[in-house]
A and B are shown apart, each in its own frame.
Chain A
Amino acid sequence: MPKEKSIVKPLLAAVFLLILAVFFVKTEAYKQFGPLFETLKRAVPQSNSAAKTDPAPTLGEIEENFTSNLWKRTDMIDLTGAMAKAIHMQGYYSDQDIFIMDDGTILDSSAKTTTDYEVEQTVALRDFLAEREIPLLYVNEPTKYIDDAFFTNAFARETWSNRNMDKFLSRIRQAGVNAIDLRDNIREENLNVLDLFYRTDHHWTVPAGLWASRIMAEGLNRYCGYNIDLSLFDPENFEAKEWKSCWLGEQGRKAGKTYVGLDDYTELKPKFETDYTFKGIGRFYDGPFDLFIDEWVFDPDIDVYENNSWHHAYKQINCINKNAEKGKLLILGDSYEAVTLCFLSLGIREVDSLIRRDHDESFDLRSYIVENGYDAVLIAYAQFMVGGHDDPTSSSYRMFTFQN
């Protein structure tokens, strides 16, 4: 290095200090001193064990909270996304199971599973229900590819999503469980499965939910003795409102809007008159189908990283359709049901849904079914739920726990 003093390094140092100072102030970093020292006080070994019983955030939680409230955080996520896009890194977020196609569509993968637990639990539930003459129907909700080779060709990585499901369906059908595989309908109708899903989210769209509801209703008629008017689900009976490039899905928020772009959204409401009683927590309330939808979510002016997921604008709420005469259905579902329960309920008197992961091991599903007098049970799961029980840390771990 030359002995003559350069002006560049002092300038760089000044800029660096300025950056530290601005972030320190703008993020209100000084507010973290209190929680940090409280955590430290609890973490170091001490004789006063009573002090440890009070909850204090861990250093990891403080770190996470601090980082998620960092000044300009979303701009930084966008910067990462923009750079990843510029270098065309499709597997950049593969450690979070996010794989990005050329058009920004996000796919994910599934590990191989035996399907043993899922088959055993499903068949046992069917047997339990059969003894009480309650029919069971299983509906497989697809993921964004209906052939594993599609994913493997795109990312040179193995996935077992469809093969797991083929195996599972074949085994439960062999055991006499009635099952509908929506992938068959996609093939029969020659649909592009990607058109049924958001690009930046793992959920299917509202129109896809309506499409699936018709097939589910058909299945309920065929296997569960229902008599639902299938014309209720004709798209022309619905008023559509469309937004272009308006929201960012759950996976898209990780990758950044600069990488995957924003998603379109379509809201559907029946054109015909509806009359419901909604079973809210602690109170019932009456109203039309519109009350399924939290329309305040549809505000393109809200920061896409901060806004609620538009998919969940459709509430998955137990309801009584006062215009329908028959049926009391329990849907054992997942978040895909946000946009199937509402449409399906148009042809059924009473529809409740239960997401198994929201209840712990002590929850007695079988008593719940009997006590509530359901006349049919529909299991409708996204196909990546199969295999969830292989990982005790997975949020899907209990989805197939039906033994109680």
Chain B
Amino acid sequence: MSMTSMLFLFLFLPAALAVYYLTPGRAREAVLLAVSLIFYAFGCPEYIFLFIAAIAVTVVLGRLMNRAKTKTAKRTFLILGILLNAGLLIYYKYTDFALTTWGTVTQTEIPLQNLALPLGISFFTFKAISYLTDVYKGTAKLDKNPLHDALYLSFFPQVQSGPLSRYNDLSTRDAKLFDEGVFRFLAGFCKKVLIADILSKVTAEIFVAPPESSSMLYAWLGAVCFSLQLFFDFAGYSDMAIGISNMFGWRCPENFDYPYMTESVSKFWRRWHISLGAWFRDYVYIPLGGSRTKSKSRVYFNLLVVWLLTGIWHGAAWTFAVWGLGYFAAIAFERLTNLPGRIRSKWGRAVYRILTLLFINFQWVLFNAKDLTSGLRYIKQMLIPSPNALADARALFLLKDYWFFILVAVILCFPLIPRLHQKLKSRKTARTVFEAALALVLLAGFAWSVSLVVAGLNNPFAYANF
């Protein structure tokens, strides 16, 4: 069930809120757990029992680990938990990838398993590993009730595509978050439906066009629109997930911080999918030794592991591995040369920013390509002029049709609204008028978004495939 579907918006969400707030005290967590499992069952009925079993096993291991007296016992439970969860992920997500690769290497035809991917398995696995590791390290303050742990693992707004919250994020409830939650949910809904879904029409057309029907301008339009689409799709989803979490009184970590404002490739990943970057830092990079090892080569090896894993986490295909390695190369280059830090002039920094954005843009092209060859062919189309009057005309036509959404998307890549709000901080009346205007715009955007979904222009979340 998509969070932008009418069934979710006008049936599931109000029913869940009503049941939750009408239930007294601690029983609310049990209710929310039941609601989360129902949500999962609607989204992925064939794996609901697997999901429940994975949650149960993870929570039991976490609790046993917490009670264990010896380090060896704790470590055993941790390793067992990680192996079980990672095993599920590897089996469901990577079996066919491994078989295909093996078939290519040995030049044999191996029948594929064609396994359906359990909903949100990549996110669930990472949350389960984070839960087990935090319990092992003693950083997770376990609730008395194990249902709380199950709720953390299954909480419905985050189960599909994150953010990858930590156990402690769900430690205290705050009913005052509700208003903020509605604001965030509405903002996310508009970002997803009004910008991402509409721009997806441009990218869907351009990325499937054969090379002979493309041109440099056409390819660039597709690439830029995809960069914007992916950001507003995922940031919109994250806003909705954060908003709904807040509506139930739970906090949720931020996932985006105006990523296209980045000064360098390294900093981009501190602004984009922040919770994933933090997960890899805390559960892969630092345990491998991070940057504090004496050997420089070891640091780069750690980075290589992190980025290779980041790549294939996003998808079971070589394009994603190459995509991850692309980030490793760029980040290793920046680390080795300290180039972003050495540029002093304003113009130099501006040029470096532009180059960074171009690099990210090419990376997204690979990310969206059906295979490596078509991704590289697309990039070639962007770099080498290939005159095609019809494709150029089509690009201009699409620009004329979608200029409004592209413009709004570009503007919203900059923190203009928070900065304006900050400027009006001391002027109460002006601030209230600004907030009221913003609320009206959000409500109007929400009405338009709902009408777009009803008119049949909705798309599933791009990030839901992971």
Identify the A interface with B (CB < 8 A).
Answer: 1-2, 4, 6-13, 15-17, 20-21, 23-24, 27, 29-30, 32-33, 36, 40, 43-45, 59, 62-63, 66-67, 70, 73, 75-77, 79-81, 83, 87-92, 94-96, 152, 155-158, 254, 256
Contact = CB atoms under 8 A, between A and B. Distances in A.
A20 B421 contact: no
A32 B431 contact: no
Contacts of B11: 24, 29-30, 32-33, 36, 66
B85 to A, nearest CB: 21
Given A67-B454, A79-B448, A79-B451, A156 B6 contact: no
B173 interface: no
B46 interface: yes
B385 interface: no
Contacts of A29: 10-11, 14-15
Given A29-B14, A40-B38, 16 more contacts: A6-B435, A8-B438, A13-B181, A16-B182, A24-B11, A36-B11, A43-B45, A62-B7, A66-B11, A67-B454, A80-B454, A83-B451, A95-B201, A152-B390, A156-B390, A157-B397
B213 to A, nearest CB: 8
Contact of B442 (A6, A12, A40, A79): A12
A24 B432 contact: no
Contact of B45 (A20, A32, A40, A158): A40
B7 A7 contact: no
19 contacts: A6-B431, A6-B435, A17-B17, A20-B13, A27-B10, A29-B10, A30-B11, A36-B11, A36-B42, A44-B49, A70-B454, A75-B451, A76-B451, A80-B451, A83-B451, A94-B201, A94-B205, A95-B457, A157-B397
Contacts of A66: 6-7, 10-11
B279 interface: no
A355 to B, nearest CB: 26
B397 A67 contact: no
Interface stretch (B65-73, B366-374, B398-406): B398-406
B286 interface: no
A153 B393 CA distance: 9
Contacts of A88: 400-401
For A11, A70, A73, the residue with the greatest tally of chain B CB atoms inside 10 Å of its CB is: A70
Contacts of B346: none
Nearest to B439: A12
A280 to B, nearest CB: 35
Contacts of A63: 1, 5-7
The list of the 6 closest CB pairs from A to B, nearest first, reads A43-B45, A76-B451, A156-B393, A9-B179, A8-B435, A156-B397
B401 A92 contact: yes
A91 B397 CA distance: 9
Contact of A23 (B10, B41, B396, B401): B10
Given A4-B428, A9-B182, A12-B442, A79 B447 contact: yes
Contacts of A1: 421
Contacts of B397: 90-91, 155-157
A254 B186 CA distance: 25
B455 interface: yes
A329 B183 CA distance: 66
A67 to B, nearest CB: 5
B396 A256 contact: no
Contact of A89 (B1, B396, B401): B401
Contacts, number: 153
A88 B404 CA distance: 10
B456 A12 contact: no
Contact of A80 (B5, B13, B48, B455): B455
A10 B179 contact: yes
B180 A9 contact: yes
Chain B interface bracket (under 10, 10 to 19, 20 to 34, 35 or more):
35 or more
A15 B42 contact: no
A89 B201 CA distance: 12
A157 B394 contact: yes
B420 interface: no
Interface string B274-311: 00000000000000000000000000000000000000
B443 A15 contact: yes
B402 A89 contact: yes
B421 to A, nearest CB: 7
Interface in B158-205: 178-183, 185-186, 201, 204-205
A57 to B, nearest CB: 12
A76 B428 CA distance: 36
B422 to A, nearest CB: 8
A76 B182 contact: no
Contacts of A83: 448, 451
A77 B180 CA distance: 30
A224 B266 CA distance: 78
A2 B428 CA distance: 10
> Most chain-B CB neighbours within 10 Å: which of A2, A6, A32, A156?
A156
Given A8-B432, A29-B11, A256 B201 contact: no
Nearest to A11: B439
A6 B180 CA distance: 11
Nearest to A24: B14
Contacts of B394: 156-157
B410 to A, nearest CB: 16
B80 interface: no
A70 B458 CA distance: 15
A9 B453 CA distance: 25
A329 B421 CA distance: 75
Interface in B428-466: 428, 431-432, 435-436, 438-439, 442-443, 447-448, 450-457
Contacts of A16: 182, 185-186
B415 to A, nearest CB: 13
Given A27-B10, A43-B45, A254-B455, A12 B393 contact: no
Contacts of B443: 12, 15
B179 A12 contact: yes
B182 A12 contact: yes
Contacts of B5: 63, 67
B404 A87 contact: yes
B435 A9 contact: yes
Contacts of A256: 455
A1 B184 CA distance: 14
B436 A8 contact: yes
A83 B445 CA distance: 11
Contact of A70 (B10, B201, B448): B10
